[in-house]
Amino acid sequence: MTSLLEDTLSLFSLFQVKGPGVGLLGFSKGGDLCLSMASFLKGITATVLINSCVANTITPLHYKDMIIPSLGSDPGKCLKTDSGVWIYMGFWDNPLEEPNYHSIIPLERAQGPFLFIVGMDDHGWKSDFYAQIIASERLEAHGKDRPQIIYYPGTGHCIEPPYFPVCRTSVHTVLGQPILHGGEPKAQSWAQVDAWQQIQTFFRKHLNGKKICTV
């Protein structure tokens, strides 16, 4: 099976990638993929995760001779609202419990710092738990600096770029079901603007130090 991470190595040689360091920005499932890239590939200077899990999810991850299994799940723990929208907060098992511990991505191997963007009203992932209890404490236990974590009260799963319409529900591409993302419109809109600035500041600090255009 061809490794997704190995395929990504070829992207670093594209002329659009200035280097020498590369910054990663991942949202939801894309976040744990970015964590895996930062943990196993060289040249990753800074990584930003928006409402992401710190364990591998959905499908086993293959890299060289190693396989990180997918985090276990229990669809029976999901809730369905009166309007027919699903809440998947309880879908995933606890990564800290066996046998799920082996699905945690070894982010302590990463060379660069992390920024976690956390929506406190995220109805899809336990984003606060993943960032604080697992990522931050795991890094500290391995003698690494704690990640920067920014919390946004009243903010749901989909923290998109500024002025995008607030997305509280949508049909999940993999699950094929309408799911609730959470978030209040005012808090969500403010978080999108502020997070965009915070992300640029983080990359500006840890990449080449040059000014990045803002909206």
Q: Which residues are catalytic?
A: 28, 122, 157
Question: Whole-angstrom Cα distance, residue 118 to residue 54?
Answer: 13
R_g over Cα of the chain: 17
Question: Whole-angstrom Cα distance, residue 27 to residue 50?
Answer: 5
Pairing of strands 114-119, 148-152: parallel
Distance separating the N- and C-terminal Cα atoms of the chain: 41
Length of the chain: 215
The residue type of 81 is T
Q: Does residue 84 contact residue 171 with C-beta atoms inside 8 Å?
A: no
Closest listed residue to residue 57, CA positions, set 77, 88, 18, 30? 30
Q: Does residue 195 contact residue 164 with C-beta atoms inside 8 Å?
A: no
- Contacts of residue 64, defined as CB under 8 A and 6 or more positions apart, other chains included, come to 3, 6
Whether residue 162 is preceded by a cis peptide bond, meaning omega within 30 degrees of 0, is: no
**Encoded tokens for 82:** 């009166």
